[in-house]
Amino acid sequence: MSINRRAAALLPLLLCAAPWLAHAQAYPEKPIHVVVPFAPGGPADAVARILGQELVDTLGQPFIIDNKVGAAGNIGVAQIAKAAPDGYTLGIVPVGNVAVNPSLFPSLPYKVSELQPVAMLAVVENVLVVNASVPAGSVKELLALARQKPGTLSFASPGAGSQAHLAGELMALDGDVQLIHVPYKGIGPALNDVVGGQVTMMFGSLSAVLPFVKSGKLRAIGLASLKRSAAMPELPTVAEQGLPGFEAISWYALMAPAGTPKAIVERLNAETARVLAKPEMKEKFAGLGLEPGAGKPQDIAANIQSESARWSAVIRKRNIKPE
């Protein structure tokens, strides 16, 4: 009798869950919209299109890319967060929009809690480079130079609050040195002035700086991640060179509106992991300067928490304001 009573008590819950379970099993029944909060042609857009082409074969529905540009990606991310949680609106969300912007902007059109992590898609390796004429071949030598000439060494970035900006400020904090931030409107102009010697250094994506390093116009002195890169295995990390724990990586994650059924999230995560594990995907991503991601939704959530703590502290201590 006790078993029957427990079964009877569970019946209403099972009946309530049944529509969602059936929906998840049938998913997807129509095209899936993927919001990219940046312009076509960039890495987020490229990742969305590559992933969409692969997943259409598995899920049987087209992925429609919707570029929503503006406000440092905040407009597009808000559209993802406010969409119906039915699995038919997803989005490509970079680390900055969930771990930096909440501390950087006084108000946002979304809350991080309104987003459901689905899958880590790609990680960007950032490299600290200096102009070839700078008399420093390591992070220790660069910091020593900064101490000898306080307030004279500068670092470029593609804009206030960018990963390159935050990385430079983090190095100044951890290294206890004075550096001058020089913001630009994009990575191209920033790199050009480092190459030209108008600015001392910058943190840039490996794919962006590698041609200049190979040509001898820039010198790579440290990788801004906790492990060395397969593309430049001889290059030590910044953390190895006297700044333990130093990390400033970028990433892109697939996200959905909070409340999206768990079964749909799990299926999307599994299918995405399967696609990213293909050898040809690593090759495609390498051409974009990216490493395929991995992990479960909870891993992304934990990463967002740790990155938020790191960058909110930097933003507060350095009094960083959005442009």
- Quick one: what percent of the chain has pLDDT higher than 90? 81
Confidence of residue 259 (pLDDT cuts 50, 70, 90): very high
pLDDT at 31: 97
Structure tokens, 52: 């969409």
Confidence of residue 322 (pLDDT cuts 50, 70, 90): confident
3-state secondary structure of 127: strand
pLDDT at 99: 96
- Quick one: what percent of the chain has pLDDT higher than 70? 92
* Sign for the pseudo-dihedral over CA of 14, 16, 21, 26: positive
32-123+250-318 with 126-223: one CATH topology? yes
pLDDT at 26: 86
Residue 204 and residue 127 in contact, taking contact as beta carbons nearer than 8 Å? yes
> Max CA-CA distance within the chain?
84
- Residue 243 φ then ψ, to 5°: -120, 75
pLDDT at 20: 47
pLDDT of 320 over the 60 cut: yes
Which residues, 6+ apart, have CB-to-CB distance to 304 below 8 Å? Answer: 95, 98, 99, 112, 117
Mean pLDDT of the chain: 92
pLDDT of 167 over the 90 cut: yes
State which fold the 32-123+250-318 domain adopts.
Answer: D-Maltodextrin-Binding Protein; domain 2 (3.40.190)
**Mean pLDDT on 164-187:** 96
**What are the extents of the domains in the chain?**
32-123+250-318, 126-223
pLDDT of 51 over the 80 cut: yes
pLDDT at 19: 54
| Interval 126-148: pLDDT, tens | 999 999 999 999 999 999 999 99
pLDDT at 115: 98
CATH of domain 126-223: 3.40.190.10
pLDDT at 230: 85
In 3D space, the residue among 315, 318, 250, 256 whose CA is nearest the CA of residue 106 turns out to be 315
| Interval 71-111: pLDDT, tens | 889 999 999 999 999 999 999 999 999 999 999 998 999 99
Confidence of residue 287 (pLDDT cuts 50, 70, 90): confident
